[in-house]
Amino acid sequence: MDNLTLAEKYGFVLPPYRIVKSRKEAVEAGEEIGYPVVLKLISSKITHKTEKGLVKLHLYNEEEIRGAYKELSKYKGKIMVQKMITEGVELLVGGVKDPQFGPMVMVGLGGIYVEIFKDVSARLCPVEEEDIEEMIGELKSHKLIEGARGKRINKKRLKECIKAMCALMSRKEIREAEINPLICTEKECYAVDVRIIRG
Question: Which overall architecture, per CATH, does domain 15-83 show?
Answer: 2-Layer Sandwich (3.30)
Nearest alpha-carbon partner for 89 in 40, 150, 8, 138: 150
Tens digit of pLDDT for each residue in 143-169?
878 775 667 899 999 999 999 999 999
Collapsing DSSP to helix, strand or coil, 104 comes out as: strand
Please give the Cα distance from 79 to 42 (Å, whole number).
Answer: 6
Tens digit of pLDDT for each residue in 23-82?
999 999 999 999 999 999 998 776 666 667 899 999 999 999 999 999 999 999 999 999
Q: Which fold has domain 89-198?
A: D-amino Acid Aminotransferase; Chain A, domain 1 (3.30.470)
Nearest alpha-carbon partner for 23 in 106, 77, 81, 100: 81
- 35 to each of 83, 85, 99, 100, 118, how far by Cα in Å? 7, 10, 44, 47, 32
